[in-house]
Amino acid sequence: MGILINKDTKVIVQGISGKEGSLQAKWMIEFGTKIVGGVTPGKGGIEVQKVPVFDSVREAVDVNKPDASVIFVPPQFAADAIFEAADNGIALIVCITEGIPVHDMMRVCSYLKTTSSRLLGPNCPGITVPGASKIGIMPNPIHMSGNIGVVSRSGTLTYEIVDLLSRNGIGQSASVGIGGDPVNGTSFVDVLQLFENDPETHAVVMVGEIGGTAEEESIDFIKGMSKPVITYIVGVSAPPGKTMGHAGAIISMGVGTAAEKIKAFEDAGIIVARSPSDIVQHIKKMDYS
């Protein structure tokens, strides 16, 4: 069921004793996620949300053998938290933190190529497989089990699209937010490959936005997929040079406009929805669910 995680995935929360880490751990547990430990240096031995806290990832790994980690630590410490998770063999690292310096992420992504760890994020809402597990901050009530994969750069748009699909009776195999920073660990193509190989996913909704070329870089892969992909690009009215939401969403030197992205997808023969409701109509018309 789903991609990357399932009902048996064991998760630790780095930064669990902080306000956000504690709150999100509570909601992940309520969703059904198997939170087996938390990590906060200097607070080993306490419990947060009835979860044991360790001083280091190494201690948490030795005791509970987690499969994944989710990171809720301040930007200045986030790179070290990712390094620590990777050094201790965590297979999936989900970094929620925003505002991490780009040069820190360049070092992180370069290092991760030498490990077996996958990083989702940073500045992302995480991943949810309805009925199984959630790692991140997506709202619990909006998800519904089904066969549509969702991948997006924007957290808020991920929530909006997933909620709209569910309210229209269209369930999701998994919802993934890859994060909107200029340098991140998992790309659109990475997630599309996972959905292509997932028998539970029958079609994919890919939500892009202004800035960069991440969307265009996925075109060749989408053209070779056996499953239909419906794209939706936001930011048509965004003025050049203005950041919209986060660091990755900025048009620079005329590159990364919504119009350019939409044209590139249409020229490639890929479905482009013009609004969230249009996504629903495409899915219903083609009976992908």
By annotation, the residues acting in catalysis are 246
Q: Are 247 and 179 in contact (CB under 8 A)?
A: no
Q: Is 127 helix (H, G, I), strand (E, B) or coil?
A: strand
Distance of CA 21 to the CA centre of its chain: 17
Q: Cα(200)–Cα(177) distance, rounded to whole angstroms?
A: 19
| Cβ within 8 Å of residue 92, ≥6 positions away | 4, 5, 9, 67, 68, 69, 117, 118, 120, 135
Q: Cα(74)–Cα(190) distance, rounded to whole angstroms?
A: 27
- Torsional sign, CA 214, 165, 129, 245: positive
